[in-house]
């Protein structure tokens, strides 16, 4: 696949996440592409889990909305890159940092290239591959059962590994941040591990684009008060941010577009 095709289809994914459906004609105008090109894009995307063809366009498939970590990486990609850069600036040379799985935490790992003498503990396969060739990072893998959708290791083996190590901070993503219901994720086995990480963290840094604020998912992870720092984008709801600050959460807004 060419870079241009990949970028264009990533923009279509983002558009669908915001609007749920799109017509070929409106996508040609939005992306300044030919109708034939957009129709080919729609055919490709319709083969992915979470999308389906409709007459004259494409829509989200509610019955298959369990997007993989790779698919989610295309959604709000610019926001996630800016959040990853901002969060990486919180990491100091010589620290020990646990970085959890997720599409936004991958961007944090990508921005650690200039750091020195870091120890990174992770259960994320994409983060392992991102950092494996960096000689300035001591990489510690918390292995276990592989969740193929998330490309992460989960289960009691990971939890056992965490009992053997210590970290200066934990950086993790989250699917829902709600002032009343706290931190939540959709997939229970991941959420169980995330609960362990919340307790493990001397300082918990949450990286989440603004679309996660105000959302509630099925599985409880932690309290608002467990968050040390939230790194998000400029689209974050001011009311939610004010409520988080009142509960002691430090807010950092990344430069770049809002979700």
- What is the spatial distance between Cα 115 and Cα 78, in angstroms, rounded to a whole number? 22
> What residues contact residue 247 under an 8 Å CB cut-off, 6+ apart?
179, 224, 225
Q: What is the reported pTM?
A: 0.76
Tell me the CA distances in angstroms from 133 to 2, 110, 129, 138, one per residue in order: 25, 12, 8, 10
Q: 240 in helix, strand or coil?
A: helix
103-149 pLDDT, tens digit each: 999 999 999 988 999 999 999 999 999 999 999 999 999 988 988 87
What does the DSSP assignment read for 179-230?
TTTEEEES-HHHHHHHHHHHHH-SSEEEE--GGGBT---SEEEE-GGG-SEE
213-231 pLDDT, tens digit each: 999 998 999 999 999 999 9
- Classify domain 72-253 by CATH architecture: 3-Layer(aba) Sandwich (3.40)
CATH number, domain 3-65, options 1.20.58.1880, 3.30.2390.10, 2.40.30.10, 1.10.10.10: 1.10.10.10
- What is the spatial distance between Cα 127 and Cα 205, in angstroms, rounded to a whole number? 17
């Amino acid at each position: 696949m060419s870079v241009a095709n990949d970028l264009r289809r990533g923009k279509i994914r983002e558009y669908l996440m915001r609007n749920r459906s799109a017509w070929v004609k409106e996508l040609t105008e939005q992306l300044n592409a030919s109708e034939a090109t957009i129709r080919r894009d729609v055919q490709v995307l319709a083969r992915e889990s979470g999308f389906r063809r409709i007459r004259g366009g494409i829509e989200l498939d509610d019955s298959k909305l369990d997007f993989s970590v790779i698919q989610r990486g295309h959604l709000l990609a610019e926001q996630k890159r800016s959040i990853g850069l901002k969060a990486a600036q919180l990491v100091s040379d010589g620290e020990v940092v646990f970085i959890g799985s997720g599409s936004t935490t991958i961007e944090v790992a990508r921005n650690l290239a200039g750091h020195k003498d870091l120890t990174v503990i992770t259960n994320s396969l994409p983060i392992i591959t991102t950092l494996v060739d960096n000689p300035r990072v001591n990489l510690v893998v918390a292995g276990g059962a592989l969740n193929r959708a998330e490309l992460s290791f989960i289960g009691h083996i990971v939890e056992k590994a965490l009992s053997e190590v210590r970290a200066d901070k934990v950086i993790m993503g989250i699917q829902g941040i709600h002032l009343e219901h706290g931190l939540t994720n959709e997939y229970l086995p991941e959420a169980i591990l995330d609960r362990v990480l919340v307790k493990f963290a001397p300082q918990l840094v949450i990286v989440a684009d603004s679309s996660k604020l105000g959302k509630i998912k099925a599985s409880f992870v932690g309290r608002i008060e467990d968050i040390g720092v939230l790194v998000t984008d400029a689209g974050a709801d001011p009311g939610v941010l004010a409520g988080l600050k009142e509960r002691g959460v430090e807010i950092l807004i990344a430069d770049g577009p809002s979700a």
